[in-house]
A = this chain, B = another copy of it.
Amino acid sequence: MGSSTGQSPVRLAVLDSDTGFLQVLANRLDAAGWQHRVLASPVPIDALVSMRLNVLVIDLAVLGPAGWSYLEKVCDRLPSLGVIVCTGRSSVSQRVRGLRMGADDWVTKPCHPEELIARAEAVARRRRRAEAARVEVGPVVAGELAIRADQFQAFVGDASVDLTRREFELIQLLADASGQVLPREEIYQRVWGYAMVHGDRSVDVFVRKLRQKLERSSPRWRYIHTHFGIGYRFAAEPLDPPAVAPVPERAAEPTPSLPAFV
């Protein structure tokens, strides 16, 4: 999907003390856009958990004899974490032992940082693919509307708004940019995937269809607002029946102050 898959960049930590190596590696990781950090000493397992890492690179040498048990513990407690041992000279039996213990790869120093990153990527890729289904993104809520990406559908309460594929893609795009005015061209570009030709009314028509279904499901709210000559903006606004301050529109509040009462 698209160029910017970076929804969740790889999170990587290095447990090593070779400052030169760390420096070079850090540069490359930055260039690749990965989130990374250096661990000076064997961090408690619980701390590792809270880091929500994808990959851990570990040099057994810095831990001394305790390294093996630490490796074992990490692999045992965090089976979903990718582990790469990157250490100096080793024997075949040592490598076999490490891999059997749960490590995903074993790289011998000195090594090229680019290769280490490629291997980390391979490990993360495999993991990601295996767990891909488990990722449950929290539903986006606005007004009485809940947009659930895993369902390809929006709900009011527990009733489906019954959106079609395109309609859902559209409302999802708008809601993700909640509060922002999106120009037609950009909407078309991101939902339809290619450039809009002048005079195309598809966006307008689908906005209408959306509004229609939203009003049927959630009559007391307005969600999609027109900006003349520009495009549309998503914002949940209650239609207050009582005559109050006639503030027509303006605030682009994402949804910080939710008028809880309904």
Contact = CB atoms under 8 A, between A and B. Distances in A.
Contacts of A6: none
Given A130-B127, A165-B228, A96 B118 contact: yes
A125 B103 CA distance: 10
Given A95-B115, A177-B133, A181-B152, A228 B164 contact: yes
A218 to B, nearest CB: 14
A209 interface: no
Contacts of A122: 99, 102-105
Size band of the A side of the interface?
A: 35 or more
Contact of A152 (B106, B121, B133, B227): B227
Shortest beta-carbon contacts, A-B, top 10 = A130-B130, A99-B118, A165-B229, A96-B118, A92-B112, A99-B122, A150-B180, A152-B181, A92-B115, A152-B230
Interface of A: 79-80, 82, 92-93, 95-96, 99-100, 102-106, 112, 114-115, 118-119, 121-123, 125-127, 129-131, 133, 150-153, 159, 162, 164-165, 177, 179-181, 186, 190, 227-230, 233, 255-256
Given A93-B114, A96-B114, 17 more contacts: A82-B126, A95-B115, A95-B118, A99-B118, A103-B122, A104-B126, A126-B127, A127-B130, A130-B130, A133-B177, A133-B180, A133-B190, A151-B181, A153-B181, A159-B256, A162-B255, A165-B229
